[in-house]
Structure 1
Amino acid sequence: MVMDGSLRSIAITLTLFLWLLTIVTLLPKLCSGEFEVRCIESERQALLKFKQDLEDPSNRLASWATTDEDCCHWLGVVCHNLTGHVHQLHLRSVPPSDDQFTTDDQYGAQLEAYKRSRLIGKINPSLLDLKYLTYLDLSYNDFCGTQIPKFLGSMGSLRYLNLSNARFGGMVPHQLGNLSNMHYLDLGGNYGYNLYVLSLQWLSGLPLLQHLDLSYVDLSQASDWLQVTNKLPSLLKMWLSGCYLGFTPLIPNINFSSLTTLDLSSTTLENNLIPKWVFGLHNLVSLDLSSIGFHGSIPIDLQNMTSLRHLDLSYNFFNSSIPNWLYNFSHLEFLNLGSNNFQGTISSAIGNLTSAIRIDFSGNELNGKVPRSLGNLCNLREIRFSYNKWNQKIFELLESLSRCVSHGLETLEMNDARLSGHLINELGQFKNLVVLSLGYNLISGPIPWSIGNLSSLRSLNLETNQINGTLPQCFGQLSKLEYLNLDSNILEGVVSKVHFANLMRLTTLVASRNRLTLEVSDKWVPPFQLNALYLRSWILGPKFPLWFCSQKHLEFLDISNTGISDLIPHLFWNLSSQFTYLNISHNHIHGNIPHIPMLLSMSSVIDMSSNQFIGSLPYISPNVSFLDLSDNKLSGSISHFLCYKMNEVKHMKFLNLRKNLLSGEISDCWEMWQSLFALNLGNNNFTGSIPISIGSLVALSYLHLQDNKFSGKIPLSLKNCE
């Protein structure tokens, strides 16, 4: 036995020596980057089988090819840097952005791009061969309403599983309760696909769970949801948005001692009242109770939750004044009371929210003036006060923000003679402010020069107010500005290149329906590259602004009613393939419209109506959904336009060719125009009979053929256009 012990010791020593020798040999290569770990062949084959069950319209997984044998280099695949085993799969699709820098048109374009980027299909069981997989993210893809695979419950190494917004349906498999190592579980956002549970008892098998998102999972039959989640010892964050919670049974003790984040937004609560157990969560840092249907006043019991840093009560029906005790939340960083019916004025006590970073009071009935004490909130980065009834001069509102000043400011020019020299010196640089949204109010007066001192501003929204005077040249100082919206005010005067001198980051400029005149030379090259430009009703003409041709990323352009009486240069037509929205209507633009058959963004809108275009109709990309060429001088046949690429489905929904000089018979080529909702061919010189194939337009709601020279019988096929 002694000899056996000695041999065992020698064997252990030898094993340790060989292990250390291996480490010493590999360490220099690892440090120098010479040693490259390749993926395991069986795991590479498993990934290829997984890919086979997926459609990939945008070819995201092009790197997942048999020609590249090392799967550790494939998109979304992360391998362990020593063993080569696949540890993580990052296959999330990127959803569209809905932040303050995105217009509705831009969001629509992003949505179309996102739809094309999604992986579609089902999850192949070959993932079971990835024995060491700890992280799996398949969110924002399209699994076509299929059930979450039960076999995922056998992947015991998983610590992170994200299947959110991936269009899963049916019952959530209880086998997920076998994933005892799980820290992060997100099944949320599968809205509309009837993802449900009968019981949440399986959650008891996840003692390490910290993050739980069941948003839009139907919990109406899971009467045990509170009892089960209340016993999860490690739970930190819980999202139950849109879960149809309904009746919540009373439980004697609330054990959510570690819970810091709770989201009950858009769910159904008994009697539309905040459950009393919520008020006992004194360690809660984030509470979202938006879109639940609360009425009356904010419950006073909420005032004891003084640890809150994030409070969202938006999209309810609160119709009282904002209670003063709410302003005592000294730790509050994010406060959203938007889209309610709050009334009255804002108390000067708002100055107590000294930790506030974002305040959103938009979409209420608040009136009066913004209190000067708002200027005490020197950490503010976002102020959203749009859609209220602020009746205030804009320079007074900016004065309210003047407490957090940068001393040593020398001089400022102001374009309002009523401002005193003392106020001019008081207005300093609001260094933290990133978003200022004051649209849709009763704000009036000229814009003061001091606005140029909002040195960190990225988004400024002053749309639909009563702001008058000229546009101060100090806008050219806002070097970080990305989004500027001055739409629908009473601004007038000349805008020059000085106004844009340092706006190198500007991507969106919305300033339609003002009385402004742009005066720049033909050789001017702007410092910015815009994505969206809306200048309707400005004076831009009579020449066509050549600087548009320098904008390589322009997708949304509205220069309607801008006094242009010119030919459009070929350089501009060359940009047509990048447009999602183009409106050059109500000008005096003449010449021919070139063919636009190249690929435009899906659901593109083109409005060239009320000009003086001549010649024949152009070929148009099938991706255009709205085309208005009415009130021009276009002539000739419509046949080549209708019958262009007969085998290609057209996505046109609105087609207006009214009031031109078009003639001849209308070809029988309507079968591929199935999406048409409105068709106007009136006030032309068409002859012959109405083609039978118009009856194939089953989505048609508006048909205008008046003031032509049609003859013959009205086709019976029109009865299909119900």
Structure 2
Amino acid sequence: METFPFLWIICLLSGELFCGGVAHLAHCNAADRKALLDLKRGLNDSWNRLSSWHGTNCCKWSGIACDNTTGAILAVDLPNSSGLQPLGGEIRPSLAKLKSLKHLDLSGNEFRGKIPHFLFSLVNLQYLNLSFAGFSGAIPPNLGNISSLQLLDVSSVSLNVDNLEWVSCLLSLKYLAMNYVDLSKVGREWIEPLNKLPLLSELHLEFCGLSSFIYSLPSVNFTSLKVLNLQGSFFQAKLPTWFVNISSLISVDIENGGLTGRIPLGFGELPNLQSLKLSYNMKLSASSFQLFTRSWKKIRVLDLSINVLHGRLPAHLGNMTSLIYFDLHNNNIEGGIPSSIGNLSNLQYIDLSLNKLTGSLPDSIGQLKNLVELRLNNNLLQGSIPDSIGNLQRLATLTLSSNKLNGTLPDSIGLLSELSSLDVSLNKLTGIISEAHFHRLRKLVEIILSANSFILNVSSNWVPPFQVIVLHMGSCHLGPSFPSWLRSQKQVKVLDFSGAGISDSIPNWFWDMTSILARLNVSFNSLEGHTPNSFNITPYAGVDMSSNQFKGPIPLLNVLLLDLSNNQFSGSIPENIGQAMSSLTFLSLSGNKLSGAIPTSIGQMSVLDVFDLSYNNLAGSIPSSIGNCSSLTVLDLQNNNLSGGIPKSMGQLTGLQTLHLSNNQFSGEIPSSLQNLSKLETLDFGNNMLTGNLGSWFVEAFPHLRILSLRCNNFYGKLPLALSNLSSLQILDLAENKFNGSIPASFGDLKAMGQEQTVGDYLRYGTIDENHYYQENIRVVMNGLELQYTKTLFLLTSIDLSGNHFYGALPEEITKLVGLETLNLSRNHISGQIPKSISEMRQLLSLDLSGNMLSGPIPQSISSLTFLANLNVSNNDLSGMIPSANQMSTFNASSFAGNPGLCGDPLAVKCPNDSNNGGDNYPDGGGKADQADNGNGFIDKWFYMSVGMGFAVGLLIPYLVFAMKRSWGGVYFAFVDGTAYRLSSEKMKAAMRRRNRSTR
């Protein structure tokens, strides 16, 4: 409720007062003074708010107003609206002796107990405000006896009402507020007593627990109602029809009301409606919304945001000519923006963001001469930005980001002299941006052009007319020189020049303007030279200078985020880095030329979240002080020359989620203290000299592991059965160790490998803002190639147990891993047969069973693995015909070599029952001589050449195909088969038909 000056309210309620302070000329009567003094004795006034309550003339006391003629007390005004210490204590019955009292305000205090029952005796009371005064329990129904009451506010989180019938007696009531009062027991009849109040102008029942209502009333009697606020109810029902019969309504607010279904059509006929807020409801029909708006002439504010509205904007949207505020953001609105929107000449605010709007921006949008804000971001809009947008001379905010807009940025934007925020990022815009685009933009403080293909072409001495605060030009071409016009900007707090094609050194004057920067991103350029050892910048800043060519020592900056990765910084890490950069939460020095040891002072970086020193030349051991970095979630030290044992203190990093120590020279056993790292999701110790047996604790300690890599170490012993309990495990790499025993059949229970993967949050750690995070990564060996996965890591599922001493049969249960993409069991002592159920592993890209003791046939069902791009079963004891259907025909003979019992293509050994055993055995009676006579030598050459090409293509293309879309794999192999069919001779066709018959 709006707060009015105290004496002004009294003037309204009483015609007997002279306004302007002369009310103090009266002298209060002794009975009223005695009642007030007794009231004071009951109050707890620790801040002496009532210090003026002394002397004989109580009309001069703070919060008291009197009748100028009789001296009777008319008002007791003691609200706590100024943040002062609230009054407490009790309200004594002596208050009821103020028989002339018209105004009583005790709001915002901390009284205890129930609302005093004796208030009903104040029969002349017109204004009663007890909101949030500390009272609790039921509101006394005898308040209904105060028939003169015009304003009643009993809003409170600790009051309740079981029945509202008493309100119907307040026939003079104009304003009723019961916000947060528990009305859940009143039932659906709550509207009936209110319908008996003919003078009621405002009704506020916010968050009262109302859950139902009478859908239609026989008649509507509160014909003066202008403001209706029911937000935060739990109706879960349609909007009642009686709303549309209240012709006096100006404002309706039922946000968070749980409404469903159609908006009653009669709403469009309410002559005075200016504001309708139905946001955050359930499923209001957009088709109803279209009907709803046809006769909507007087509405000023339309807010239907976050309603899960669907459908299209009505073509007759332009009929809402009085509309000022149009908000439908965060729904599922589809289709285009109708051109009739240009008829809304009074419109000042449009927010249609976060929908599914398509089509182009209508040229008529330039007719909205009063428009101040235009937000259309996060839609599917296409086409160009119309030149007419330059007509919007009052426009202050233009947000078109995250669409599919193309074309150029119109020069007419430079005419928007009131524009303060311009955001067209994340589109497909191109072309040159010149000085004309900023011609009159003197008020511009936010420019966001990132993720487009703009080229900034301005003169070297250009001085922009604006003083910008936020400047995002990432991916816009600004180079090759560092932008000299930036020197004129004195208020920049956020600067993003990432990927801007700048191949220059940063000028000295730039370091003088960094003192107010909160965000600096110049990554992915070709910036060179040395950076200052330190420069002034705000302590909460984020600095990203990664992927450039900076040299020299590491600068020491006391900021929150510092990313200097992928540069040419050299020398050792400063010994005092822990003291100088104690506020860091994100530090990446990866991919530089750093040498020396990791300083012990890192233990003083207690708030560090991400610590990445990977891909350098660091030596020595990990300092034990690392255990003091208690906030770490990511520690990446891979690809250095670190040695020694893994420190036991690392077990103190209980929040750690990613631990990369691979490709170093660590030795010894894994300390048991690491079992404290129960949140670990990535454990990468590959390519070291670690040893030991994997005890049961090793698996049980890490229930959330997704990536486990111990490859190329000296681990030994049997695999713990508890490995199968790692339900999130996607990558298991134990290759090149000394493990033995059989492969556990329980591997078939690895849950994450038994289903296709979806994107997981574990891929990004240490996010400091929406644009900067640590990217999880891992290297996986596939077909002899070491591949690094980062952004597509969520797609990969892999098991590599190669180069160990496993023996026994290949368990059939492993074929239950239908989401597995890479399986490498090569160079072990595995015996038995390849399970026929191998065909269930439909996602396999690579299967390597070479160098084992497998026997029996290759199952014909393996031909159904249409994604299979790499197969190696060489050097076993397999026998029988090699399956030749589908992609199996693309594999080279080396895939099957070293199996004396195998026969058929691509091996030179023919199977005994194969009729295609020589040139004279073609089914059509032709022989080799016929080939020459018929001129088919070219086709044979093409065929054998295609087999060789097929080997190469079969290796490489499916990887790319799979990376784009799995379902294309089948299309690819169908294309290969179809092309061979069209180009082959009749003899080749017959051979292919025979091959197909044998596989069926």
Give TM-score, length-normalised by structure 1: 0.64
Deviations 1:138-173 (A, max 9, x none): 8xxxxxxxx96549989999987887xxxx999689
Taking structure 1 as reference, are residues 567 and 665 closer, same or farther at Cα in structure 2, changes over 3 Å only? farther
Q: What amino acid does structure 1 have at the position aligned with 2:228?
A: L
Deviations 1:360-411 (A, max 9, x none): 34444544443333222211112333344544343xx02x346x5xxxxxxx
Aligned-residue offset at 1:355: 0.9
2:175 corresponds to which residue? 210
Aligned-residue offset at 1:86: 11
Taking structure 1 as reference, are residues 514 and 716 closer, same or farther at Cα in structure 2, changes over 3 Å only? same
Q: What amino acid does structure 1 have at the position aligned with 2:322?
A: S
Q: What amino acid does structure 2 have at the position aligned with 1:198?
A: N
Distance 2:150 2:556 in 1: 56
2:297 corresponds to which residue? 330
Alpha-carbon contact 1:462-1:486 (below 8 Å) kept: yes
SS of corresponding position for 2:302: strand
1:199 aligns with 2:161: yes
Alpha-carbon contact 2:517-2:537 (below 8 Å) kept: no
Distance 1:283 1:90 in 2: 31
Deviations 1:254-284 (A, max 9, x none): 6654432223344311x43334554454322
Gaps of 5+ in 2: 1-20, 26-43, 50-61, 67-75, 96-102, 120-124, 583-600, 679-1000
1:267 corresponds to which residue? 233
Alpha-carbon contact 2:372-2:396 (below 8 Å) kept: yes
Distance 1:137 1:599 in 2: 43
2:473 corresponds to which residue? 535
Written as runs of structure 1 = structure 2, the 5 A alignment for 1:379-390 is 379-390=346-357
Alpha-carbon contact 1:631-1:659 (below 8 Å) kept: no
Taking structure 1 as reference, are residues 136 and 487 closer, same or farther at Cα in structure 2, changes over 3 Å only? farther
1:564 corresponds to which residue? 502
2:283 corresponds to which residue? 317
Aligned-residue offset at 1:477: 1.2
Taking structure 1 as reference, are residues 369 and 703 closer, same or farther at Cα in structure 2, changes over 3 Å only? same
2:404 corresponds to which residue? 466
**After the TM superposition, which of the residue ranges 636-645 and 431-440 deviates more from structure 2?**
636-645
Aligned-residue offset at 1:434: 1.4
**After the TM superposition, which of the residue ranges 648-657 and 513-522 deviates more from structure 2?**
648-657
Q: What amino acid does structure 2 have at the position aligned with 1:610?
A: S
SS of corresponding position for 1:516: strand
Correspondent of 1:721 among 667, 672, 677: 677
1:439 aligns with 2:406: no
Aligned-residue offset at 1:516: 0.8
Distance 1:221 1:628 in 2: 59
SS of corresponding position for 2:406: strand
Aligned-residue offset at 1:659: 3.5
1:494 aligns with 2:494: no
1:640 corresponds to which residue? 576
1:608 aligns with 2:545: yes
- State, as a whole percentage, how many aligned pairs show the same letter: 33
Distance 1:244 1:386 in 2: 31
Taking structure 1 as reference, are residues 200 and 708 closer, same or farther at Cα in structure 2, changes over 3 Å only? farther
Distance 1:638 1:170 in 2: 62
Correspondent of 2:531 among 592, 595, 617: 592
Aligned-residue offset at 1:486: 0.9
1:707 aligns with 2:642: no
Aligned-residue offset at 1:587: 2.0
SS of corresponding position for 2:479: coil
Taking structure 1 as reference, are residues 209 and 324 closer, same or farther at Cα in structure 2, changes over 3 Å only? closer
Taking structure 1 as reference, are residues 281 and 375 closer, same or farther at Cα in structure 2, changes over 3 Å only? same
Distance 2:463 2:469 in 1: 16
Distance 1:637 1:169 in 2: 60
Written as runs of structure 1 = structure 2, the 5 A alignment for 1:288-367 is 288-300=253-265, 302-303=267-268, 305-315=270-280, 316-321=282-287, 322-367=289-334
Distance 2:511 2:105 in 1: 48
Aligned-residue offset at 1:88: 8.3
Written as runs of structure 1 = structure 2, the 5 A alignment for 1:571-582 is 571-582=509-520
Aligned-residue offset at 1:479: 0.6
SS of corresponding position for 1:543: coil
Q: What amino acid does structure 2 have at the position aligned with 1:504?
A: R
Alpha-carbon contact 2:111-2:135 (below 8 Å) kept: no
Taking structure 1 as reference, are residues 226 and 318 closer, same or farther at Cα in structure 2, changes over 3 Å only? closer
1:678 aligns with 2:634: yes
1:372 corresponds to which residue? 339
Alpha-carbon contact 1:695-1:721 (below 8 Å) kept: yes
Deviations 1:602-621 (A, max 9, x none): xx544333233344444454
SS of corresponding position for 2:443: coil
Aligned-residue offset at 1:489: 2.1
Q: What amino acid does structure 1 have at the position aligned with 2:615?
A: K
Aligned-residue offset at 1:682: 3.3
Alpha-carbon contact 1:509-1:534 (below 8 Å) kept: yes
Taking structure 1 as reference, are residues 279 and 453 closer, same or farther at Cα in structure 2, changes over 3 Å only? closer
**After the TM superposition, which of the residue ranges 495-504 and 382-391 deviates more from structure 2?**
382-391
Distance 2:634 2:81 in 1: 44
Correspondent of 2:564 among 629, 633, 639: 629
SS of corresponding position for 1:311: strand
SS of corresponding position for 1:323: helix
Q: What amino acid does structure 1 have at the position aligned with 2:448?
A: V
Deviations 1:117-138 (A, max 9, x none): xx9xx8575999xx9x999998
Taking structure 1 as reference, are residues 137 and 471 closer, same or farther at Cα in structure 2, changes over 3 Å only? farther
Distance 1:185 1:385 in 2: 36
SS of corresponding position for 1:560: coil
Taking structure 1 as reference, are residues 354 and 341 closer, same or farther at Cα in structure 2, changes over 3 Å only? same
Q: What amino acid does structure 1 have at the position aligned with 2:389?
A: I
Alpha-carbon contact 1:632-1:660 (below 8 Å) kept: no
Distance 1:255 1:161 in 2: 27
**After the TM superposition, which of the residue ranges 527-536 and 610-619 deviates more from structure 2?**
610-619
Distance 2:518 2:631 in 1: 18
Aligned-residue offset at 1:596: 6.7
Distance 2:339 2:196 in 1: 47
Q: What amino acid does structure 1 have at the position aligned with 2:161?
A: S
Taking structure 1 as reference, are residues 714 and 284 closer, same or farther at Cα in structure 2, changes over 3 Å only? farther
Q: What amino acid does structure 2 have at the position aligned with 1:244?
A: G
Alpha-carbon contact 1:642-1:670 (below 8 Å) kept: no
Aligned-residue offset at 1:214: 2.5
Aligned-residue offset at 1:537: 0.5
Deviations 1:428-455 (A, max 9, x none): xx42111223334443333343322211
2:247 corresponds to which residue? 282
Q: What amino acid does structure 2 have at the position aligned with 1:317?
A: K
Q: What amino acid does structure 2 have at the position aligned with 1:581?
A: R
SS of corresponding position for 2:455: strand
Taking structure 1 as reference, are residues 149 and 548 closer, same or farther at Cα in structure 2, changes over 3 Å only? farther
Taking structure 1 as reference, are residues 489 and 568 closer, same or farther at Cα in structure 2, changes over 3 Å only? same
Distance 1:674 1:170 in 2: 46
Distance 2:623 2:575 in 1: 5
2:388 corresponds to which residue? 450
Higher normalized contact order (CA 8 Å, seq sep 6+, divided by chain length): 1
Deviations 1:223-263 (A, max 9, x none): 59657876788764445455432245799986654432223
Alpha-carbon contact 2:159-2:182 (below 8 Å) kept: yes
Alpha-carbon contact 1:434-1:458 (below 8 Å) kept: yes
